[in-house]
Amino acid sequence: MRTRRPNDSWQSQTHGIRLDWTSGRDAVMAEGGATLGKLRALFRAPSGPVPGVKAAFNDFSYTHEYDVLGRWTHRRDSGASLQLQSSIDYHHNDDVVTPTQVQADVDAQYHTAIGSRHDLVVGAGYRFIDEKLEGAFSFSITPSTVEESVVNFFAQDEIALERRVRLTLGTKVERDSYVGWSAQPTAARDVTPVPQQHVWAAVSRALRTPALGDVSGRYNYTSFVGQGGLPVVVGALGNPALQSEEVVDTDVGYRREIGSVASVGRHGIRRTLHGLKNSEPLAPRMELTPAPAHLLIATQFANLLDATPPA
């Protein structure tokens, strides 16, 4: 039997360096890296409203990623510590579409004990993202250049209530460019009734904020010839009003340690999801560009799904 090679070869190389320096109560870490990739992905993306079998994207795609990170940690005799960290990442693809992203982060975290009962961590962070996309018919964003920012504050307190009972309370408050302010709280209680036995219960709320493509992307999946020879394009549109997807986890469990090498127990999680992303049909409409004139049949992203997966 005759076989054919898929012609989808790829290669990637990653380089990195890390430096660590410690003096007394201070520690400094700096690292940087680069990843260069080359692949032939054989995409078959539509190139226009006129239907037909699209030739595979047979050229090479190139990926360029560079990153640097620096961290300073100061420790006190009391055991408290302060950590400051900053990083910047650059990502660029040469492909059917050509995305470029620059992301800069800075955050601070302070950890200390308060009395004999409280173990406290507080901090804040800021992220700035500059994204540019030279789109194609298959995918584009509007506008083609976007600036996004995220600021967050977080705190967690682990409280020793009694000898064998610990309560952990925490929250992260965040503001991003798409959905504004939101909170992600968590609470957990751990009980050790007797040595080597643990009973715990926890509840937490987490969010997935919309990505750029969810909000302002245009996806053209395929095309065909309709009645009267009119080209028809099938696609999906982003939604600027899209909200975060929410998950609420409830976790309970029991574990018994057997010696120092084994343990047995039971563990259960109930997960409830709200506002999951789905696609809602839009009324068909005529589009004059790109030529020729064509009918668009599209859906738009929304937050209309709720779910409770089986435990």
Neighbours of 206 (CB within 10 A): 14
Per-residue pLDDT of the chain (311 residues; tens, 9 = 90+): 566 666 677 889 999 999 999 999 999 999 999 999 988 766 667 778 887 545 555 677 889 999 999 999 999 988 899 999 999 999 998 877 889 999 999 999 999 999 889 999 999 999 999 999 988 888 999 999 999 999 999 999 999 987 789 999 999 999 999 999 999 999 999 988 777 888 989 999 999 999 999 999 999 998 888 888 899 999 999 999 999 999 999 999 988 888 777 788 887 889 999 999 999 999 999 999 988 999 999 999 999 999 998 86
Q: Fold for 10-307, please state it.
A: Maltoporin; Chain A (2.40.170)
* Residues contacting residue 180 through CB under 8 Å, at least 6 positions apart: none
CA atoms of 155 and 185, how far apart (whole Å): 10
Residue type, 25: R
Domain boundaries, the chain: 10-307
Measured CA to CA in angstroms, residue 74 lies from 111, 118, 126, 140, 155 at distances of 11, 20, 21, 46, 19
d(CA 182, CA 204): 14
